[in-house]
Amino acid sequence: MIHPKDKKMKIVKLLLLPLILLATGCTKDLVSVDYGDINPAIFPKSQADLEAMVNAAYYPLRGAYGDGIFSTSERGVMYLSDATTEILRGKYGDQQTASLQNFRPTDAGFTHYYDDFYNKISRMTTTIDLISRSTLSDELKTKAIAQVRCARGILAYTLFDLYGPLVVAPLEVLNQPLVEKPLARLSNEEMVAYIDADLTAAAADLPLPQDAEYGRFNKALAKMVNIRLWLHEKNWAKVKTLADDIIAYNAYSLDADYAAMWDLEGAKASKEVIWAIPCDYAGTSENQWQLMVLPAVYAPKGGFGTITSTWWFYDRFESNDKRKKMLITEFTGTDGITYNRSSPGAILDLGPLPLKINPDADRTTGLTTVDIIMYRYADVLLSKAEAIANAGGAPTSEAMELVNVVRRRAGLADKQLADYATLTLFNDLILLERSHEFWCENGQYRADLIRHGKYITRCQEVTGSTYTAPHKVLYPFSLRAVSEGKGLFIQNPGYN
């Protein structure tokens, strides 16, 4: 595939991505800076230059309706990914298309992640090259490159999870902007190796979790995303090794209060959060979840009510599970009407409100200061449990104990190994616990369903969709992406 945006970036004017100046090093203070003409022979020359280049790599990974892949709106990965599962259900628009798994190459809501963000991988490649060729100290360059490689690994994994292998332009192609070079997608093996190389290299040089600034990348995050990659590939040995590495950092533990992690300052105070995206009212990084899920009549401050959960999902929680209390099943609206399952109106008819985060009733805009939690230590424990059981072909007491550690925090009784003695039963338990633990966080439950072969059947069971099919485990590429490839870029099967 040809990279027209990359070509512009590579000519004399080198459009180096919107570089971001970060005065304090915290993601919530990001301010976009247009550097205009940049001569790569003299840039970067200072630590401030390096910081600007590094912060630019964080930029597409924030929450932002227009250009942040982790937006909490329908433009973001989590919203639509969870909407393709039993966690969320939409009545109209892209969310309905997601719930019915009826996405097609002409549906920009599902193709835009690739179209809008694939070129950022190339830009990060160019950034790494510029940093490596600079005259700054090796120590500064190593720290900067580690962050950019982590960003590239996170973005590449996120797109790979949605679409399968990507087009990844090598540096030699990026360095020849005037030479038209159509590119094919990588093979699955090449794609996995590419992502793993970035995350492994980043983990080697990033700071320990205890030493990293809040909102910035650290060793544990790089390894957590790599866990997701190897879960995708069912490489259980690598999943377990990476999980053990994170546990050995002795930096994390489960918070006693599950809901408190989504308080106004909850993620910052948490010992469990591996990475959260800081958000603010100014929208430097946006969290607009209340706006998305709360209906207009919700008191004291409503929203657009664009999506709900499902009663199917709610009913699978145990009655005393603390995690389901964040699913709102009844409220009295500003219209004086009490809405609940028996009298749902047009609000709770499909399911409860999946608020999960603090309502932030004092917010004066559609945004909130509740940070976007992306990865938590609970994921490390459940990933290790799954890896132990699947590597050995049967669950063990160690694997079950890891599940029970997570369950106890939710106020639930231990599960007994004798009741889940087969691998099928244990994997079903893992999948159930993942849905209850990680709903409306990073959208990775979609990948969990796919990994366990239940993505299509679950959609059929919950929605009765006649549109889903086995090939829907991957999103389609846009017609534009395919046509620009001049015959080398092959559409995902089932979408031609």
| Displacement of CA 395 from its chain's centroid (Å) | 28
Decide if pLDDT at 351 tops 80.
yes
195 and 303 inside one domain: no
Q: Which of 298, 480, 420 is CA-nearest to residue 290?
A: 298
Decide if pLDDT at 231 tops 50.
yes
199 and 296 inside one domain: no
Confidence of residue 292 (pLDDT cuts 50, 70, 90): very high
Number of domains in the chain: 2
**If you average pLDDT over residues 57-67, what whole number do you get?**
96
321 and 188 inside one domain: no
Range of the domain at 149: 4-60+100-205
* Residue spans of alpha helices (H) in 325-444: 377-392, 397-409, 423-438
200 and 297 inside one domain: no
186 and 326 inside one domain: no
Decide if pLDDT at 16 tops 50.
no
Per-residue confidence (pLDDT) for residue 284, from 0 to 100: 85
Q: Is residue 240 part of a domain?
A: no
200 and 295 inside one domain: no
Per-residue confidence (pLDDT) for residue 364, from 0 to 100: 86
CATH classification of the domain holding 52:
1.25.40.890
Q: Which of 147, 5, 160 is CA-nearest to residue 67?
A: 5
Mean pLDDT of the chain: 92
Distance CA 140, CA 116 (A): 30
Q: Which carries the bigger pLDDT value, residue 284 or residue 382? A: 382
Q: Is residue 33 part of a domain?
A: yes
182 and 308 inside one domain: no
Which residues partner with 275 through β-bridges?
A: 375
**What confidence tens digit (pLDDT) does each residue in 437-475 have?**
999 999 999 999 999 999 999 999 999 999 999 999 999
Decide if pLDDT at 6 tops 50.
no
Which residues have a Cβ under 8 Å from the Cβ of 3 and sit 6 or more positions away? Answer: 119, 122, 167, 169, 173, 174, 183
Q: Tell me the DSSP string of 419-486.
A: GG-SHHHHHHHHHHHHHHHHTTSSSTHHHHHHHTT-HHHHHHHHH--SS--GGGGSPPPPHHHHHHTT
35 and 131 inside one domain: yes
End residue of a domain, out of 368, 397, 421? 368
Q: Is residue 252 part of a domain?
A: no
Q: Which carries the bigger pLDDT value, residue 24 or residue 180? A: 180
Q: Is residue 20 part of a domain?
A: yes
Residue 375: phi and psi, rounded to 5, are -140, 140
Per-residue confidence (pLDDT) for residue 282, from 0 to 100: 84
Decide if pLDDT at 320 tops 60.
yes
**What confidence tens digit (pLDDT) does each residue in 152-192 have?**
999 999 999 999 999 999 999 999 888 888 899 999 999 99
pLDDT exceeding 90 applies to what percent of the chain? 87
**What confidence tens digit (pLDDT) does each residue in 109-129 have?**
999 999 999 999 999 999 999
Lowest mean pLDDT among 26-30, 167-171, 423-427, 487-491: 26-30
54 and 178 inside one domain: yes
Distance CA 169, CA 2 (A): 9
Q: Is residue 32 part of a domain?
A: yes
Q: Is residue 26 part of a domain?
A: yes
Decide if pLDDT at 34 tops 70.
no
End residue of a domain, out of 368, 401, 419? 368
Q: Is residue 397 part of a domain?
A: no
**pTM of the entire predicted model:** 0.92
Per-residue confidence (pLDDT) for residue 38, from 0 to 100: 52
Which residues partner with 328 through β-bridges?
A: 353
Decide if pLDDT at 487 tops 80.
yes
37 and 184 inside one domain: yes
Q: Is residue 198 part of a domain?
A: yes
End residue of a domain, out of 181, 205, 229? 205
